Amino acid sequence: MDLALQLELKERSLIEACIARERWAQQRLYEEYYPKMMGVCMRYANNDDDALDILHEGFIKVFKHVASYQPGTSLTAWIRRIMVNTAIDYYRKTIRRRTEDIETAYNLSSSDADAISQCSEQDILAAVKKLTPAYRAVFNMYVIEGYSHKEIADQLDITESTSRSNLVKARLKLQAILTGNFDLDKNGNEE
């Protein structure tokens, strides 16, 4: 119990110092949350440089809005939400949205075994990076972040059916990539 109280006081002091724009506190918060949040950003980005851009922009937002953080809630979850929203904003700015017809998604299916159980985390992350930005965003938001198709549609300014279609296609492409059935170029297109 004392340890939890000490951690809460330590976190509160760090947040108060960040609110006061103390550089040492900002650096400490950045260094503490960098690894976890870089992982979040990597799932949405085309490459390491884009992920780093998203991460840095996200931390700028964290420091700008740190006073709105509610003590007693999960700081990790609060920062993670900012990073996800920053990644979504980045996606909106840099990508022209393609609409996919849901009818074509219903005709796609596969009977291959579960490829993910055979792969490392790096293999899966590399495969996700090979998806088109539209597929990658929907896949991350639905599978990793737990958004509903309605929420995804609202966030990305697409229809719910497009969200569903992109998710189905993303899963099929990931399966194909991970099982080695075909190669994709950097834009997620078959070579």
pLDDT in tens, 123-168: 778 888 888 988 999 998 898 888 899 999 998 989 989 999 999 9
- The confidence score (pLDDT) of residue 182 equals 54
Residues 68 and 108 in one domain: no
pTM for the predicted model, two decimal places: 0.57
Class of residue 119 by CB neighbours under 10 A (exposed 0-12, middle 13-18, buried 19+): middle
Within a domain: 146: yes
Residues 124 and 143 in one domain: yes
Separation of alpha carbons 105 and 116, rounded Å: 21
Within a domain: 68: yes
Point out which residues pair with 190 in neighbouring strands. 184
Within a domain: 21: yes
Residues 81 and 136 in one domain: no
Instruction: Read off the pLDDT band of 95 (50, 70, 90).
Output: low
Separation of alpha carbons 2 and 88, rounded Å: 39
Residues 87 and 112 in one domain: no
Instruction: Read off the pLDDT band of 183 (50, 70, 90).
Output: low
Within a domain: 149: yes
Based on the structure, what is the number of domains in the chain?
2
pLDDT in tens, 167-182: 999 888 888 888 776 5
Range of the domain at 170: 102-179
Whether residue 44 is predicted with pLDDT greater than 70 in this model: the reply is yes
- The confidence score (pLDDT) of residue 56 equals 94
